[in-house]
């Protein structure tokens, strides 16, 4: 990038917030994937006006702009694939308002999800979207990827909590979409257009989010199933019995194996699945839901059912689940985490097919995730230093996508397309829908400066 | 003749470039490349790193530091003055190691990188002389250290050395020198090492023979605290042996990447303690405890010492860790204080001893433990960081002091001399009346009021680790 542009950026922002040294560029070249590509410059704005000035310059000069929150994304979304400007929002991190009457929180994009959770919980409220990356990921990144987490089965994902956004568009115009009200049909629902847009349309500089009163109690059930089919049926039976769990997580046999290799906790290796079910509500409703869930699991063939009604017990049951991701890294140096999403009825079949694909390509593919909503994370463990293995990984990934699409599902439930799944997007979308997306992109960003090369 | 229709390319997932087969300096004291590769770039460590919290830039984060080391090892970055400086910005507080889900040891990798950086630098005459003076002439010889007596001088030496090493940092000199004045506490009349008998018998029936690893700063500056440590031990069936020939544990040298020097010190300490026939070696300085527990690892390739180092490290316990593992007499004297406990990084993160000091303080009648937010965040002392990076350390300290004020404690307690100095400076700088104490002082005070029945070991040292959120 030309020196004169860097000079101009230095005039727009404080000098120390325009980074150009090789060391600084190196550490803004990655996200939570293994992809890397260096930016030409990194800017760290503090205000919407600064963001607007950067986008005006970039549009005039046709320089790519890549928004970046915490860089925890799992699709390569904030990797500057074509260089240009990385625009880091992490220093715009003020919580502007927590209003318990309107029941909204207004935040800057760099606010960390967990900081927002703490701020609203202090007032007896909660913000349900809880990606596992909540301690590091930003609200801006959550909005741009449409993040969700275990609690979303009951409460919905980020998209269900975004009421209004302030967005800076290419060229530097600032648009406010939506408002503080729950209902609003004046014009198109533009804020939702930006949810999951992965930084390809503009930069979110403020978000108005719904918050809801915090339930008083919580409990957990852990059930061990010798047969996978039974676990799948138990899921549907629980939901059918009128209980909507806060979270409903599965670990398949390979995932249990991986954790056992790491924890040596004496986990049962002969079972095909474990379910972890969290419920919440007021005290007596939790007791009742725990009863229904444990009865249902037993009736559907669970060999062992443990119930935890207090936090310490519940943490103990969750420990195994939390150990999955650390355990994976110790078996193989790399992992490719998939994020497929299928209709609920197809869950058992999808699980079976992933196991078959793992056998076919001789790979370790533990599967775990929020089975209650059909979003699953088969993780292909591999060593990228082994070229033959890389080819098998590619083939297995293709097979998993094909299987998910074949069962009426999609490529990504919550991580986004980014760079990682870009090649696969056409086969998973209706051609006219894809064309419409391209049209929208061209209208909003005619010079294709916003995160070029991503998604499409 | 028609050409066969062209196959559309199969869609592929871009997997990026993998690791290299020939990383630079992957052996010896340099950063462990396999451990570097274990970083999956999840960013979880960003949430606990004090330097990232202060600066809000990725180079000041654990993930950024690992990425820099990796790029350097893979030949994508060269060792520039910039890169070297970045390696010295890390506090080595190891909060990131506690939280990292894949076991990346960022603090240790950074120390490894410093070792390589130091070995590759042509040391300037002044810097070399200063480094030689403090690390090789002063610290390994307690008598010389004590003769120089003024610990300020020790700190000055170390601080100056770092400053001279850091590029362009000389400009900062007046600030840090002023800072050192602020750090200087009231000194005891004589170093404890000179006063303490080699063997102090237990007040009751002897159950353990315990070696006391008396840290340099403890004996010189916090003699009162270490005296209390001895009192608590002797009140609990321990005979305390404090060999006068022991030398510095090597922690300051480790921070500077001087691993050969650390090994030399380690060998001497092993020689000294081996002959004493002690059951345990107890340290009341978290940094010394962490360092001496590392001897086994440091000397694992030394045929003459590997086995002996393992035996030595296996005996080392932090004082609080030791006490919760044995039957204790109930302390009876009331210590009416409202106490906030600050976790030293070298205890909480390096040794994973988190709850033991609080378990002990709970035994003290009248003592009320107050909630201190971010109790396991670094206070900014970090060896000599508060001198070499004064401005940065000030901000980190300010955060700690804000939390301390909110706790409404009248006393802050911590088991590490660096933290004690730093917190004292923070309290003094703000004109507060808050008392800064080592936990053993409060325990000893309570024992002076009497010792009651024998309690079963508090044991159950719960390692409260707030890590490993589920992926996805
Ligand atoms: C260990 C781990 C666990 C995870 N668990 C989950 C999970 O449970 N659920 C889930 O959904 N995801 C999960 N993720 C993925 C990731 O954390 C989420 O996608 C998160 O929302 C990304 O936030 P970020 O701040 O890190 O954004 P980044 O990674 O920096 O960016 C992500 C995308 O958003 C864009 N972007 C960022 N900020 C803005 C902005 N202000 N305006 C416009 N565009 C912007 C970027 O350009 C990029 O395309 C996990 C990741 C890790 C490493
Ligand atoms: S927590 Fe560990 S794996 Fe994650 S980015 Fe930090 S060092 Fe890397
Ligand atoms: S050791 Fe402390 S300062 Fe260094 S990277 Fe880790 S958390 Fe940050």
Which of B302, B324, B346 is where one domain is finished?
B324
What is the 3-state secondary structure of A273-337?
Answer: EEEEEEEEECHHHHHHHHHHHHHHHHHCCCCEEEEECCHHHHHHHHHHHHCHHHHHHHHCCEEEE
Could you tell me if residue B6 is inside a domain?
no
Nearest Cα neighbor of A235 from A250, A246, A224, A220 is: A250
Statement to judge: residues B198 and B263 lie in one domain: yes
Region B120-137: mean pLDDT is 55
Same domain, B218 and B320: yes
**What local confidence, expressed as pLDDT, does residue B10 receive?**
75
Say whether A24 and B40 touch across the interface (CB within 8 A): no
Number of domains in chain B: 4
By the 8 A CB rule, do B170 and B164 touch?
A: yes
B3 falls in which pLDDT band (50, 70, 90)? low
Please give the order of strands across the beta sheet that includes A95-99. A95-99, A104-107, A203-210, A162-168, A174-178
Residues 93-112 on B with a CB inside 8 Å of A are 101-103
The pLDDT assigned to B126 comes to 44
CB distance from B11 to chain A under 8 Å?
yes
Residues B224, B437: Cα–Cα separation, whole Å: 10
Flag whether pLDDT at B273 surpasses 60.
yes
| pLDDT tens for each residue of B50-97 | 999 999 999 999 999 999 999 999 999 999 999 999 998 998 899 999
Same domain, yes or no: B169 and B106: no
**Per-residue pLDDT tens digits for A130-175:** 998 999 999 999 999 999 988 888 999 999 999 999 999 999 999 9
pLDDT value of residue B5: 53
The neighbour count for residue A430, using CB atoms within 10 Å, is 8
Is residue B56 situated within a structural domain?
yes
Using an 8 Å Cβ cutoff, are A143 and A160 in contact?
no
Per-residue pLDDT averaged across B128-157, rounded? Answer: 54
A81 min Cα distance to partner chain B (Å):
11
User: What's the whole-number average pLDDT of chain B?
Assistant: 83
- pLDDT at residue B169 in the model: 33
pLDDT band at residue B133 using 50, 70 and 90 as cut-offs: low
Q: Is B58 on the interface with A (CB under 8 A)?
A: yes
ipTM of predicted assembly, 2 dp: 0.94
Query: Residue B349 sits in a domain of what CATH number?
Result: 3.40.50
B245 and B357 in a single domain? The answer is no
Q: Which of A32, A91, A137 sits opposite B41 (nearest CB)?
A: A32
Question: Which residue of A136, A392, A401 to mutate against B (max B Cβ within 10 Å)?
Answer: A136
d(CA A151, CA B470): 13
The verdict on a CB contact (< 8 Å) between B41 and A369 is: no
Does 3.30.465.10 match the CATH number of domain A95-213?
Answer: yes
Instruction: Supply the pLDDT for residue A211.
Output: 97
CATH code of the domain containing B114: 1.10.1060.10
- Answer whether residue B9 is part of any domain: no
Q: Same domain for B212 and B286?
A: yes
Query: Are A95 and A111 contacting, i.e. CB atoms less than 8 angstroms apart?
Result: yes
Residues present in chain B in total:
472
pLDDT of residue B388: 67
- A68 beta partners: A88
pLDDT of residue A145: 97
- Residue whose CA is closest, atom 16 of ligand 1? A73
Which residues of chain A does CATH 3.40.462.10 include? Answer: 218-406
Structure tokens at A275: 């379910």
pLDDT over 50 at B215, yes or no: yes
pLDDT for B54: 92
Say if residue B466's pLDDT is above 60.
Answer: no
**Strand A41-43 and strand A85-88: pairing?**
parallel
CATH 3.30.465.10 residue ranges for chain A: 95-213
Q: Is residue B461 part of a domain?
A: no
Instruction: Say whether pLDDT at B383 is over 80.
Output: no
Q: What is the structure's pLDDT at A329?
A: 76
- Kindly indicate the confidence band of residue B469, based on its pLDDT and cuts at 50, 70 and 90: very low
Range(s) within chain A of domains with CATH label 3.30.43.10: 3-88
Q: Is A26 in contact with B13 (Cβ distance < 8 A)? A: no
Q: What is the reported pLDDT for B189?
A: 60
Clarify whether residues B204 and B270 are in a common domain: yes
Mean pLDDT, to the nearest integer, of B32-50?
Answer: 93
CA-B99 nearest atom, ligand 2: 1
CB B288 within 8 A of CB B249: yes
Residue B22 sits at the chain A interface (C-beta within 8 Å) = no
**Residues 6+ away with beta carbon under 8 Å from A408:** A342, A343, A346
Q: What does the alpha-carbon distance between residue B344 and residue B334 come to, in Å, rounded to a whole number?
A: 26
Same domain, B409 and B340: yes
Which listed ligand is nearest to A337 at the C-alpha?
1
Look at B38 and A28 and tell me if their CB atoms are within 8 Å: no
Instruction: Please report the number of interchain residue pairs, chain A to chain B, with beta-carbon separation below 8 angstroms.
Output: 154
B472 shares contact with chain A (CB less than 8 Å): yes
Nearest CA among B452, B443, B468 for reference residue B356 = B443
Residue B134, beta-bridge partner list:
none
Given CATH 3.30.43.10, say whether it is the number of domain A3-88. Answer: yes
Question: Is the per-residue pLDDT at B153 higher than 50?
Answer: no
B314 and B340 part of one domain: no
> Could you give the angle at which helices B174-183 and B151-165 cross, rounded to 10 degrees?
150
**Are B134 and B162 contained in the same domain?**
yes
State pTM to two decimals.
Answer: 0.88
Per-residue pLDDT of chain A (456 residues; tens, 9 = 90+): 889 999 999 999 999 999 999 999 999 999 999 899 999 999 999 999 999 999 999 999 999 999 999 999 999 999 999 999 999 999 999 999 999 999 999 999 999 999 999 999 999 999 999 998 999 999 999 999 999 988 888 999 999 999 999 999 999 999 999 999 888 888 899 999 999 999 999 999 999 999 999 999 999 999 999 998 899 889 989 999 989 999 899 998 889 988 888 878 888 899 999 999 999 999 999 999 999 999 999 999 999 999 997 888 888 888 888 888 778 877 888 888 889 999 988 888 888 899 899 999 999 999 888 888 888 889 999 988 888 999 999 999 999 999 999 999 999 989 999 999 998 998 889 999 999 999 999 999 999 999 999 998
Does B317 lie in the same domain as B196? yes
User: Do B341 and B369 meet the contact criterion of CB atoms below 8 Å apart?
Assistant: yes
The answer as to whether B464 is a domain residue is: no
Domain end among B301, B324, B347: B324
- Identify the pLDDT of residue B181: 46
Per-residue model confidence (pLDDT) at position A134: 93
Note whether B396 and B443 are same-domain residues. yes
Task: Indicate if B320 and B418 belong to the same structural domain.
Answer: no
**How many other C-beta atoms can be found within 10 angstroms of the C-beta atom of residue A438?**
12
With a cut of 70, say whether residue B134 has pLDDT above it.
Answer: no
Query: Separation of B386 CA from ligand 3 center, angstroms?
Result: 15
Where among B324, B345, B375 does a domain terminate?
Answer: B324
| Residue B120, pLDDT score | 74
Topology adopted by domain A218-406: Vanillyl-alcohol Oxidase; Chain A, domain 3 (3.40.462)
Residues of B in contact with A31 (CB under 8 A): 41
Angstrom distance (rounded) from CA A121 to CA B448: 44
Distance CA B145, CA B160 (A): 17
Q: Verify whether the Cβ–Cβ distance A23 to B68 is below 8 Å.
A: yes
Alpha carbon distance B406, B143 (integer Å): 43
Please enumerate in sequence order all residues whose Cβ is within 8 A of that of B246, keeping only pairs 6 or more positions apart, or say none.
Answer: B142, B213, B214, B268, B269, B272, B273
Describe the crossing of helices A387-406 and A347-360 by its angle, rounded to 10 degrees.
160
Q: Which residue has the higher pLDDT, B342 or B122?
A: B342
Q: Which residues line ligand 2 (CB under 6 A)?
A: B 39-45, 62-63, 66, 96, 100, 102, 104, 106
B372 exposure class (CB count in 10 Å sphere: 0-12, 13-18, 19+): buried
Give the residue, B467 or A119, on which the prediction is more confident: A119
For the sheet with A65-68, list strands across it. A18-19, A41-43, A85-88, A65-68
Asked whether A97 and A104 are in contact (CB, 8 A), the reply is yes
**B21, B38, B46: residue with CB nearest A385:** B21
The rounded percent of chain B whose pLDDT value lies above 90 is: 57
Domain of residue B208: give its range: 192-324
User: Residue B138 pLDDT more than 70?
Assistant: no
């Amino acid at each position: 990038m030309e020196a004169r542009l860097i000079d101009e950026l230095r005039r727009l922002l404080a000098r120390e917030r325009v980074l150009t040294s090789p060391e600084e560029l190196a550490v803004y070249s990655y996200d939570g994937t293994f992809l890397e590509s260096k930016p030409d410059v990194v800017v760290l704005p503090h205000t919407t006006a600064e963001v607007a000035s950067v986008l005006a310059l970039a549009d005039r000069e046709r320089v790519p702009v890549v928004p970046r929150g915490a860089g925890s994304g799992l699709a390569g979304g904030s990797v500057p694939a074509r260089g240009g400007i990385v625009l880091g929002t992490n220093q715009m991190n003020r919580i502007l308002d927590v209003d318990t009457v309107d029941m909204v929180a207004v935040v800057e994009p760099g606010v960390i999800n967990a900081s927002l959770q703490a701020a609203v919980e202090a007032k007896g409220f909660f913000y349900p979207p809880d990606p596992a990356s909540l301690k590091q990921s930003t609200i801006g990144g959550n909005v741009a990827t449409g993040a969700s987490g275990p609690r979303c089965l009951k409460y919905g994902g980020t998209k269900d909590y975004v009421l209004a956004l302030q967005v800076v568009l290419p060229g530097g115009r600032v648009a406010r979409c939506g408002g503080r009200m729950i209902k609003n049909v004046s014009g198109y629902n533009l804020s939702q257009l930006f949810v999951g847009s992965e930084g390809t349309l503009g930069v979110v500089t403020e978000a108005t989010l719904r918050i809801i009163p915090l339930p008083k109690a919580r409990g957990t059930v852990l059930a061990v199933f010798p047969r996978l089919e039974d676990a799948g049926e138990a899921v549907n039976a629980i939901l059918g019995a009128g209980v909507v769990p806060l979270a409903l997580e599965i670990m398949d046999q390979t995932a249990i194996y991986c954790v056992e290799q790491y924890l040596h906790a004496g986990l049962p290796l002969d079972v095909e699945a474990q379910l972890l079910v969290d419920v919440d509500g007021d005290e007596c409703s939790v007791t009742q839901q725990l009863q229904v869930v444990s009865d249902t699991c037993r009736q559907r063939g669970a060999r062992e059912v443990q119930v935890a009604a207090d936090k310490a017990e519940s943490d103990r049951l969750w420990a195994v689940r939390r150990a999955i991701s650390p355990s994976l890294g110790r078996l193989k140096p790399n992992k490719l985490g998939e994020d497929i999403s299928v209709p609920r009825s197809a869950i058992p079949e999808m699980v079976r097919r992933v196991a078959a694909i793992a056998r076919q390509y001789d790979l370790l593919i533990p599967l775990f995730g929020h089975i209650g909503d059909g979003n699953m994370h088969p993780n292909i463990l591999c060593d990228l230093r082994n070229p033959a293995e890389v080819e098998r990984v590619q083939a297995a990934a293709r097979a998993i996508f094909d299987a998910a699409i074949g069962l009426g599902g999609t490529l990504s439930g919550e991580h986004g397309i980014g760079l990682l799944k870009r090649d696969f997007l056409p086969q998973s979308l209706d051609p006219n829908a894809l064309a419409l997306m391209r049209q929208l992109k061209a209208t909003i960003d005619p010079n294709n400066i916003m995160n070029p090369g991503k998604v499409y | 003749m028609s050409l066969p229709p062209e196959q559309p390319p199969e869609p592929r997932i871009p997997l990026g470039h993998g690791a290299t087969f020939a990383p630079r300096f992957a052996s010896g004291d340099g950063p462990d490349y396999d451990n570097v590769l274990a970083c999956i770039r999840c960013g979880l460590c960003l949430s606990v790193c004090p330097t990232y919290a202060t600066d809000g830039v990725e180079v000041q984060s654990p993930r950024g530091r690992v990425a820099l080391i990796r790029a350097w090892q893979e030949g994508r970055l060269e060792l520039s003055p910039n890169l070297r400086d970045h390696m010295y910005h890390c506090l080595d507080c190891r909060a990131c190691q506690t939280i990292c889900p894949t076991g990346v040891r960022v603090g240790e990798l950074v120390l490894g990188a410093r070792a390589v950086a130091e070995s590759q630098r042509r040391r300037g005459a002044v810097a070399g002389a200063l480094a030689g003076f403090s690390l090789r002439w002063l610290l390994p010889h307690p008598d010389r250290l004590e003769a120089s007596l003024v610990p300020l001088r020790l700190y000055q030496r170390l601080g100056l050395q770092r400053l001279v090493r850091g590029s362009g940092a000389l400009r900062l000199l007046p600030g840090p020198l002023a800072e050192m004045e602020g750090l200087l506490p009231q000194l005891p009349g004589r170093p404890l090492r000179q006063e303490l008998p080699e063997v102090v018998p237990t007040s009751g029936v002897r159950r353990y023979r315990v070696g006391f690893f008396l840290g340099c700063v403890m004996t010189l500056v916090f003699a009162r605290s270490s005296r209390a440590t001895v009192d608590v031990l002797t009140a609990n069936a321990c005979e305390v042996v404090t060999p006068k020939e022991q030398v510095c544990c090597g922690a300051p040298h480790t921070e500077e990447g001087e691993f050969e020097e650390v090994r030399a010190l380690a060998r001497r300490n092993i020689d000294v303690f081996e002959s004493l026939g002690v059951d345990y070696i107890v340290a009341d300085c978290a940094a010394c405890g962490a360092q001496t527990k590392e001897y086994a690892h440091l000397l694992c390739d030394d045929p003459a010492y590997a086995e002996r180092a393992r035996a030595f490290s296996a005996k080392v316990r932090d004082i609080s860790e030791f006490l919760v593992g044995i039957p204790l007499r109930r302390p009876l004297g009331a210590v009416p204080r409202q106490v906030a406990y600050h976790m030293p990084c070298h205890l909480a993160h390096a040794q994973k001893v988190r709850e033991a000091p609080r378990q002990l303080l709970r035994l003290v009648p009248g003592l009320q433990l107050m909630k201190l937010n971010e109790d396991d965040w670094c206070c900014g002392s970090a060896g000599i960081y508060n001198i070499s990076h004064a401005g940065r350390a000030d901000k980190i300290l300010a955060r700690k002091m804000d939390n301390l004020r909110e706790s409404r404690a009248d006393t802050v307690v911590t088991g590490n001399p660096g933290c004690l100095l730093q917190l004292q400076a923070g309290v003094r700088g703000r004109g507060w009346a808050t008392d800064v104490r080592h936990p053993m002082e409060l325990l000893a005070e309570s024992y002076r009021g009497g010792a009651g029945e024998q309690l079963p070991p508090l044991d159950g040292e719960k390692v409260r680790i707030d890590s490993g959120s589920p992926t996805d």
